[in-house]
Amino acid sequence: MFYIGKNQLARQGKTLAKTKQLDWSSRFASLAKTSKYPALKAFYQQSVIAASTPMAEVPMVALDFETTGLDPSRDSIVSIGLVPMSISRIRCSGSKHWIIKPETNLHSASVVVHGITHSAVADAPDFSNVIDTLLGCLQGKIVVAHHAPIERRFLHAALMRHIQEGIEFPVIDTMAIEAQFSRRKSQEIWRSLLGRQRTSIRLTDSRTRYHLPYYRQHNALTDAIACAELLQAQCVTHLTHDTPVNAIWS
């Protein structure tokens, strides 16, 4: 395992956490007082780990959604995949995968991407039927996602529609981490001068840089596992077991 020096780590941690970070412990305590839906209140009451917790001790859950489109105000979740993990282990026995009856029409363009057809969702449960289980799986863990705004915005929008409450939570975004370490300014300038495209930080391309195997894309559970493996590889390559979680969460 490659370990970077403390000074270098401090500099990289500051770069990864460019914006002022929210005090998640205080925010959860506040939300626990105002939340009315029982499973969401329990989620906040469980609180969140301390910002200084070393990565080796952080309980996480990799999360991925497939959706009917990219706009959470008009589109909805059609599939959910999640798997509990740490930086040393992926617990596939605790994984969950749901096909969800979407609240909006399936579009042909999205069906081509994720392969979930009208017949596949005909007898699928509504999102309301999995809310409690989903929140229970996330409780006490830090969510890991590749391009986290998708999971954050769609989960917030879905809960607003079903329980009239949104959700807030810290996320480790493997795409943001990859952008930091694989899109160094000097390298991208040279690529531009040579007429090359920017370094891709898509999930599959990011995994290739760490010699991780190719998985078929756009299955929510497979993508969650792929994201979990990517974070482990990123931690081994760029961080240390002692890296505080607030160096890479947002």
Condensed to tens digits (0 to 9), the pLDDT of residues 149-158 reads: 999 999 999 9
Q: How far, rounded to the nearest angstrom, does the alpha carbon of residue 57 sit from its chain's CA centroid?
A: 18
Residue type present at position 69: G
With a cut of 80, say whether residue 120 has pLDDT above it.
yes
CATH 3.20.20.70, domain 22-234, yes or no = no
Q: Which pLDDT score, from 0 to 100, does residue 112 have? A: 67
**Single pTM value for the model:** 0.88
What is the rounded average pLDDT of the residues 90-94? 97
SS3 246: helix
The closest alpha carbon to 42, from 126, 140, 130, 127, belongs to 140
At residue 10, the pLDDT reads 38
Does residue 57 register a pLDDT over 70?
A: yes
Phi, then psi, of 26 in degrees rounded to 5: -65, -40
Residues in the chain, how many?
250
| Per-residue H/E/C for 57-113 | HCCEEEEEEEECCCCCCCCCEEEEEEEEECCCCECHHHCEEEECCCCCCCCHHHHHH
Distance CA 67, CA 70 (A): 7
Q: By the 8 A CB rule, do 244 and 51 touch? A: yes
Within 13 Å, how many C-alpha atoms sit on residue 29's CB side?
Answer: 7
**Contact criterion met (CB below 8 Å) for 54 and 241:** yes
Q: What are phi and psi of 97, to 5 degrees?
A: -145, 120
pLDDT of residue 185: 54
